[in-house]
Amino acid sequence: MVVTRFAPSPTGYLHIGGLRTSLYSYLWARKNNGIFRLRIEDTDLERNSQEALNAIIEAFNWVGLSYDGEVEYQSKRTEIYKEYINKLLESGNAYKCYMSREELDALRAKQEAAKQTPRYDETWRPEDGKVLPPIPEGVEPVIRIKAPKTGEIRFTDGVKGEMKFDASFVDDFVIARSNGMPTYNFVVTIDDMLMEMTDIIRGDDHLSNTPKQIVIYNALGVKHPNFYHVPMINNPEGKKLSKRDGAMDVMDYKRLGYLPEALLNFLVRLGWSNKDQEIFSMQEMLELFDPKNINKSASAYNTEKLLWLNSEYIKSVSNERLIEELKFFDLDLSNYSKKDDILNLSKQRANTLIELKKSILDIKNEPKEYEEAGVKKFIKEDTQEVLNAYIELLENNKDKFSSVSELENITKPFIESKGLKFPQIFQPIRLSLTGTTQAPSVYDILFVLGFDEVKKRILKALEKNFKNS
């Protein structure tokens, strides 16, 4: 059975790189009818934040990545870690080191001065025939793993292929601090072992941790899981993604008006592909995703692609869903008589839910002011005469407001009879009804608003002579 996990630290918000990693892990587990776990790595008590933890859970709920079982918290598993530290001490695969912080700093400074890679000098490593220094008084020891001194540490990475590290890459690193608290690489290994992880999908910033974790697996006599190290997401210039580029809180995407399906679709394509396909339902992701097909090179964040995807999802989801989503942005269309009509019209032009809201309100609400550039360009001396004549036409054809096509059928002959060009009448109508020249089709707006509202807005615009003061 495939078992995967996502294991964030609650020291900050969940960003899109973390969400992509969790998505890949989720897809691989679900595709194989396996288990996907959520584990909170909260052993760094000084940096942990309850607010950050809440944000992680909130983000998972928003995007719909369901995890199996209860959330695991490393901070509640301290006794388990101590048990395995003692096992390694008893087996001789770990040992106590009494070197003080001052001694370690002096050793590091000496090695750096000699242009050597800083590493522990094995002063307290027990070996046959070696006499260890006397244990100093008042010094609480750290616990170090006995790392191999010769050979190579090898593993097959599902993304990068065969990986090998010379044994010198890993020194006898600390697995428990002097206060008894275990270190990151140790607790991760113990948790992954006890939770029976089969596949670890994570960012390639963790690649350097893998040899250390394999040393711990070997010391425990346990087979390590499969590793997949996913390249980073870069900005369009190929540099590290910043908050300005998109490396922000996942929940900020909700606040910016993105649908969760669009964000997941965007992320799955940042590092993985299926030929030229761009839009994937969750079912298609589950059917097609395989971590072995993750790209070896870093991917580039593309805001335009995300906006395009979001616009496609806005068009495709039900109006009932859009009504619920818009409530988050303080717009409730539940009781609006022409909610479907205004949504069908507005969602064709919206890249985000915020744009959708604006487009709806531009039509639904009577304009408080008129676009000055549009007024200057399209409001002429004969505009009042044309609009009054058009109102008269509409008044005589109120029954034509039953469909867009019927409104079009009565308007086109009117335009021809007056010898007008379309912008000469349509732009003044748009300005009258919405205050802008960028609104959707005039026929659609007329249909949505109905005769009484159309007449009222046009007459008000004429009364004010399209002035904002």
Return the structure tokens found at 234.
Answer: 């870069």
Backbone φ and ψ of 377, nearest 5°: -85, -35
Q: According to the model, what pLDDT value does residue 246 have?
A: 66
Q: According to the model, what pLDDT value does residue 78 have?
A: 92
Q: How far apart are CA 398 and CA 433, in angstroms?
A: 17
Return the structure tokens found at 93.
Answer: 């695969």
Q: According to the model, what pLDDT value does residue 55 have?
A: 86
* pLDDT, block means (10 residues), the chain with 469 residues: 93 87 97 96 74 87 94 92 97 95 89 88 93 91 96 96 94 94 95 98 95 98 97 85 75 96 97 94 96 93 95 97 98 95 94 96 94 94 94 95 94 92 93 91 94 96 90
Which position has the token pair 């008042």? 138
Pairing of strands 94-97, 174-176: unpaired
Q: How far apart are CA 36 and CA 23, in angstroms?
A: 10
Residue 243 annotated in ligand binding: yes
Q: How far apart are CA 136 and CA 151, in angstroms?
A: 34
Put simply, whether the predicted model's pTM sits higher than 0.75 gets the answer yes
DSSP per-residue codes, 202-246? EEGGGGGGHHHHHHHHHHHT----EEEEEPPEE-TTSSBP-TTTT
Q: According to the model, what pLDDT value does residue 13 have?
A: 82
Burial category of 181 from C-beta neighbours within 10 Å (exposed 0-12, middle 13-18, buried 19 and up) = middle
Can you list the domains of the chain with their CATH numbers? 1-65+231-316 (3.40.50.620), 78-230 (3.40.50.620), 318-361 (no CATH), 366-464 (1.10.10.350)
